Amino acid sequence: MGLGLAYIESLPMLLALVRATGDAIWSKAGGSHNPDQKFASPRVIEGVADVLLRQGYPEAEVRGILGENWLRVARAVWA
């Protein structure tokens, strides 16, 4: 299991928004100010880890979900 953190429905719209707003695209809550975009900033990852740990996921599984599983797959495919 792993998180897919790059869900972009319209790359041209995202690029135009980033060019126009820079870092102002991100709200203080960690998501986008644009309701048409369905992604969150990297700041929310810590919150995801906290929720998983509170739900009883072991720390090793949380590390896997947050990236170690992707690293394992990448090493297996590209090694």
- Answer yes or no: is 3 within a domain: no
Q: What single DSSP character describes residue 68?
A: I
- Answer yes or no: is 4 within a domain: no
Query: What is the structure's pLDDT at 45?
Result: 76
Rounded Cα gap, residues 38 and 52, in angstroms: 21
Query: What is the structure's pLDDT at 39?
Result: 60
- Answer yes or no: is 1 within a domain: no
**pLDDT, block means (10 residues), the chain with 79 residues:** 65 77 62 58 79 94 89 89
Rounded Cα gap, residues 36 and 16, in angstroms: 13
- Answer yes or no: is 58 within a domain: yes
Contact 53, 62 (CB under 8 A): yes
- Answer yes or no: is 5 within a domain: no
- Answer yes or no: is 45 within a domain: yes
Query: What is the structure's pLDDT at 70?
Result: 85
- Answer yes or no: is 15 within a domain: yes
Tokens 């072991």 correspond to: 58
Task: Give the three-class secondary structure for 37.
Answer: coil
Query: What is the structure's pLDDT at 5?
Result: 61
- Cα of 49 vs its chain's centroid, Å: 12
Number of domains in the chain: 1
What is the extent of the structural domain holding 64? 11-78
- Answer yes or no: is 40 within a domain: yes
Query: What is the structure's pLDDT at 46?
Result: 78
